[in-house]
Homo-oligomer: A and B are copies of this chain.
Amino acid sequence: MTDAPKEIDALIDMMARLPGLGPRSARRAVLHLIKKRGILMQPLAEAMQAVSQTARECLNCGNISTTDICSICASEKRANGEICVVEDVADLWAMERAAVFKGRYHVLGGTLSALDAIGPHELRIPKLVDRVKAERVSEVILALNATIDGQTTAHYIAENLEDRVRVTSLAQGVPIGGELDYLDDGTITAALKARKQV
């Protein structure tokens, strides 16, 4: 409730539903938008309209795209036989920012979760199995989050695919720039177990 006109109140309510924004920051954002309505709010409304009409999921990998097949799946340069499995599009973007992986992706759309009743068929796991059969895949790289659900999912996928293809996962250890004093026990244990000769 802001005592603002009802259109503005409705806009604040919707903005407050975005992750990272609460009622207070939504009010601030909307006031900022209204102050800059010509140069920011109008273009933002148009950009949202455009994206909401064109954005869709790539039919092959689940990446967000404006075409049925995303640019990575469409690019012949990325057909090196490697598929990197990620939970979410945000993880795919993070991998792309690192600019080190040259293959294609497969976005699961979440992780297996007994608690939330999410099984393999709620995720894009059957499609991954299909791709391994249909495309010339030499390696499936599991880049799932190091959470319990993420690791359960990785385990499940590995069991289903390891007869057909080489399945690997990201290394665990000390992050670059990380200080031991701030690391949790699990990470230190993993890093010690996977120690390498210098």
**A contact residues vs B (CB 8 Å cutoff):** 1-5, 7-8, 10-11, 14-15, 17-21, 25, 27-34, 37-38, 40-52, 54-55, 64-66, 71-72, 88-90, 92-93, 96-97
Contacts and interface: CB of A to CB of B under 8 A. Distances in A.
A47 B90 contact: no
Contacts of A45: 45-46, 48-49, 52
Contacts of A92: 3
A25 B47 CA distance: 18
A11 B18 CA distance: 14
Contacts of A7: 47, 50-51, 54-55, 66
Contact of A8 (B28, B34, B49, B64): B64
Contacts of A49: 42, 45-46, 49
Nearest to A65: B5
A3 B33 contact: no
Given A31-B89, A48-B48, 12 more contacts: A3-B92, A3-B96, A3-B97, A7-B51, A8-B51, A14-B40, A18-B33, A19-B32, A20-B21, A33-B52, A42-B49, A49-B49
A143 to B, nearest CB: 15
Count this chain's copies in the assembly.
2
Contacts of A42: 49, 52
Contacts of A30: 51
Contact of A93 (B4, B10, B96): B4
A64 B21 contact: no
Contacts of A64: 4-5, 8, 31, 34
